[in-house]
Amino acid sequence: MGLRIGIVGVTGAVGQEALHLLEGGTLPIAEIRLFASSRSADRILSFRHEPIRVEEVGEERLAALDYVFFSAGGSVSRRYAPIAVKGGAVVIDNSSAFRMADEVPLVVPEVNAKTLRRHSGIIANPNCTAAILATAVWPLHQAAVVERIVVATYQAASGAGAKALSELDAQVRQYAAGEAIRKKVFPEQIAFNVFSHNTPVDESGFNEEENKVAQEIRKIFGEPTLGICATCIRVPVFRAHSEAIVLETRRKLSAEEAREILRHAPGVVVVDDRQANQFPTPLEAAGKREILVGRLREDPSHPRALALFVSGDQLLKGAAWNAIQILERLAAG
């Protein structure tokens, strides 16, 4: 018997990646149903050489499915995910709607796949920045116990969706043509610029993205008191986020030991050639399922601190690929 799978938000950037990954994967799929808003309904997409009509998401249309991916925003997930569960499906949700709910596992399979056993119908996919950070840091945490994380993120336009990618492309063309730069998605010009992540700032001075990273890493690691300080920045990169990370560990971890640990870690590729000055870049990470890790060095300002730099595809490990990994674990029993 094949799986019956639905994708809500299939015409968005993450939904398209999920469809592509399922098409090229080995999961036995008996039926796939594609959902979007009324604006995108009735579009025809292809899956394994068969045309599939995109349906407008609705209560009655989510019945009789085994698994449903949600990538259409928190309000859509809050409204329709419980309906899909009631109809018999397991929901893998890519929005922030359920991530911090106590009864919902927040899963990076390389880190905490065992929490999948306690789901009640909904499983949350982490924030893209948190998923990339967790994959790279978890093997080091297991070896030396991370007590504090300081991270600066350099987040690509892809993190804000397909319209943001189009805006970066359009602004580059406008700049090259000497035209006025037009802004719609981002509050600041994204081409040839960097700026603080475009989420609300609370009274502490941290923005929503920075708070998400801290809260979600603590939940994924099962470390509710872990010290985390994040600074999240938008950069003019189409795809793949990068992060500059400093870890303070309970046991001193040398750069060489950390490099050896990461060479054997799942979901990670070490790119750390000092002689050639070759380290992770978002261009190299784009399209890859693994997180690239490099710039490993001991922090001379602290006796037990390690610095590193990572790049990971926001649409893959940061979203769609992580969700597919969750499905594969569930389908395998």
Element (H, E) at 15: helix 13-24
Give the pLDDT score at 59.
84
User: Do 181 and 114 sit in the same domain of this protein?
Assistant: no
DSSP strand pairing (90-93 vs 146-155): unpaired
Q: Evaluate whether 151 touches 230 at the Cβ level (below 8 Å).
A: yes
User: Do 293 and 220 sit in the same domain of this protein?
Assistant: yes
Give me the domain span that covers residue 119: 3-125+319-331
How many Cα atoms are found within 13 Å in the side-chain-facing hemisphere of 78?
A: 8
Based on the residue annotation, tell me whether 128 is a catalytic residue of this protein: yes
Task: Name the active-site residue from 119, 141, 197, 241.
Answer: 241
pLDDT confidence of 60, banded at 50, 70, 90? confident
Whether pLDDT at 1 is above 80: no
**Residue 196 backbone phi and psi in degrees, to 5:** -60, 140
Instruction: Specify the CATH number for the domain of residue 24.
Output: 3.40.50.720
239 annotated ligand binder: no
Residues in the chain: 333
Instruction: Specify the CATH number for the domain of residue 189.
Output: 3.30.360.10
Q: Is the pTM of this model over 0.75?
A: yes
User: Do 117 and 190 sit in the same domain of this protein?
Assistant: no
189 annotated ligand binder: no
User: Do 284 and 214 sit in the same domain of this protein?
Assistant: yes
User: Do 94 and 149 sit in the same domain of this protein?
Assistant: no
159 annotated ligand binder: yes
301-317: average pLDDT: 97
The count of structural domains within the chain is 2
Whether pLDDT at 162 is above 90: no
| Of 249, 281, 267, nearest in space to 321 by CA | 267
Measured CA to CA, the distance from residue 84 to residue 184 in angstroms comes to: 33
71 annotated ligand binder: no
314 annotated ligand binder: yes
Chain centre to alpha carbon of residue 242 = 12
Segment 77-120, tens digit of pLDDT: 999 999 999 999 999 999 999 999 999 999 999 999 999 999 99
Based on the residue annotation, tell me whether 241 is a catalytic residue of this protein: yes
User: Do 193 and 306 sit in the same domain of this protein?
Assistant: yes
User: Do 70 and 88 sit in the same domain of this protein?
Assistant: yes
Task: Name the active-site residue from 119, 128, 197, 232.
Answer: 128
Measured CA to CA, the distance from residue 229 to residue 247 in angstroms comes to: 11
Chain centre to alpha carbon of residue 68 = 17
Whether pLDDT at 61 is above 90: no
**Going edge to edge, which strands form the sheet with 268-270?**
195-196, 227-234, 146-155, 241-249, 305-312, 291-298, 268-270
- Among the ranges given (54-63, 150-159, 247-256, 266-275), the one the predictor scored with the smallest mean pLDDT: 54-63
User: Do 171 and 308 sit in the same domain of this protein?
Assistant: yes
Percent of the chain exceeding pLDDT 70 equals 100
